[in-house]
Amino acid sequence: MSVYSLNGRKALVTGANTGIGQAIAVSLAREGASVVCAGRRACDETVGTITQAGGNASSLLVDFADPMAGQGLFDGEGYDILVNNAGIIRRADAVEFSEADWDDVMDVNLKALFFTTQAFAKSVFASGGKGAVVNVASLLSFQGGIRVPSYTASKHGVAGLTKLLANEWAAKGINVNAVAPGYVDTNNTEALRADPERNRAILDRIPAGRWGAPEDIAGPVAYLCSPAAAYIHGAVLNVDGGWLAR
């Protein structure tokens, strides 16, 4: 069996109905995992893409606007992979940013991520098995950005939690890592791509000369879930076309 194979594994991918989450779910299934695609909207398109290619997938409605929505998802279900991709963004100048926009983003991007991962780990430990967690961080886990204060704070938190959980769980059989996508062509970046000046400024900084595609993120996630990454713990892998290198 290939060291990259996910045959016999069972994965939950959050926010799998579109964009990066959808690409991750398809990639994990391609490597042999059985994938449960979770989202606040039905993931029928993702499931259809996987099953039509001969993979195994199902859809699960979960709204992580409730930070405790992940409780009870894992017990006795045989999951050994969790990809925390679900996330939202709110844009406004810091001086005008509302408490509601702060709380909404932090609840989904950070609080729900932690408590969902906690529930996953409890299940893995109870079964005596091993597991892999991959969190979707961001370039804004390392930089400030502009007009996205709660998003930046949440993604800095994701990077920190990734390292903390790796410290606690590496010796107990769970690998915890993260990917930090650069500027990717998704719904979250539509406003940036629609602004000619911002779009050009972003492209001028990316050595690869293009926006990322969701599939560019999916391959590294599949790798971090695989036996090939068995000795990787607490890493935050930049997948950014070289943005942070410039």
Any idea which residues carry the catalytic annotation? Answer: 151
Report yes or no: 239 and 213 within 8 Å, Cβ to Cβ: no
Give the separation between CA 227 and CA 17, rounded to whole angstroms: 26
If we measure between CA atoms, which residue out of 78, 73, 75, 77 comes closest to residue 60? Answer: 73
Strand partners, 238: 180
Give the separation between CA 141 and CA 132, rounded to whole angstroms: 21
Q: CB atoms < 10 A from the CB of 118, how many?
A: 13
Residue that is written with structure tokens 């932690």 in the block: 114
Q: What one-character DSSP code corresponds to residue 64?
A: T
Q: Edge-to-edge strand order for the sheet containing 56-61? A: 56-61, 34-39, 10-14, 81-84, 131-136, 174-181, 236-239
If we measure between CA atoms, which residue out of 102, 106, 86 comes closest to residue 187? Answer: 86
